[in-house]
Amino acid sequence: MKLHMILSIISILFILNLSACSKEEIKYDGEPLKIAVIGDLPELNNEKIHFESISLKELSEDTVQISTNYDAIMITPLMFEEASNDRFVEVYTSTKIPFIFFDSEKRNLPFTNGGLTYESARWESLKNGSHTTIYLSDINANREDAWYFYLNDKKELDVLYKEIFEKVEML
């Protein structure tokens, strides 16, 4: 009976340890960031990064409030096709915080240009090898900028996230 109880306790502790380690540790130590996410929430472990799920509808209905409450907006592959609809182009090109198009092989182009969707945008013409793009538009200065982040055999995903968060902090 005691052996059974000890094994049960060890099993529970093992499972708790696994679940605690399931989130990827990100070594970002800059200013705290609050990031709105459209799509899948990243499973990251860093007390300075706070993700909050929002919808495309929320984004398009209240860009001023979202720009005030968040440091950036991340869009993940789950939502690329819907997020690339022409009705959102103006949102991306007029909102004053950075958009992170995470794991977008087609960069920001299907989202910030009318007449394209993520599915219809020709991959070959958009290929630059980047993994993620941060896009920021400043309509008052008549300018738009994009920063590209690369993931390869030598760079781990946690390093990529750290670079993205450091750029968002700078912006």
Q: What pTM did the predictor assign? A: 0.80
Q: Could you give the residue ranges of the DSSP H alpha helices within 70-126?
A: 80-83, 89-94, 109-112, 123-126
- Domains of the chain, by residue range, sit at 26-170
Q: Write the pLDDT tens digit of every residue in 62-89.
A: 888 888 999 999 999 999 999 999 999 9
pLDDT(19) > 50? no
Task: Quote the CA–CA distance of 16 and 85 in Å, as a whole number.
Answer: 42
End-to-end CA distance of the chain: 61
User: For the chain, what percent of residues have pLDDT higher than 90?
Assistant: 39
What percentage of residues in the chain have a pLDDT greater than 70?
80
Q: What is the mean pLDDT of the chain?
A: 82
CA distance 67 to 77: 22
CB proximity list for 10: less than 8 A, separation 6 or greater: none
What's the confidence (pLDDT) of residue 107? Answer: 85
pLDDT > 50? residue 20: no
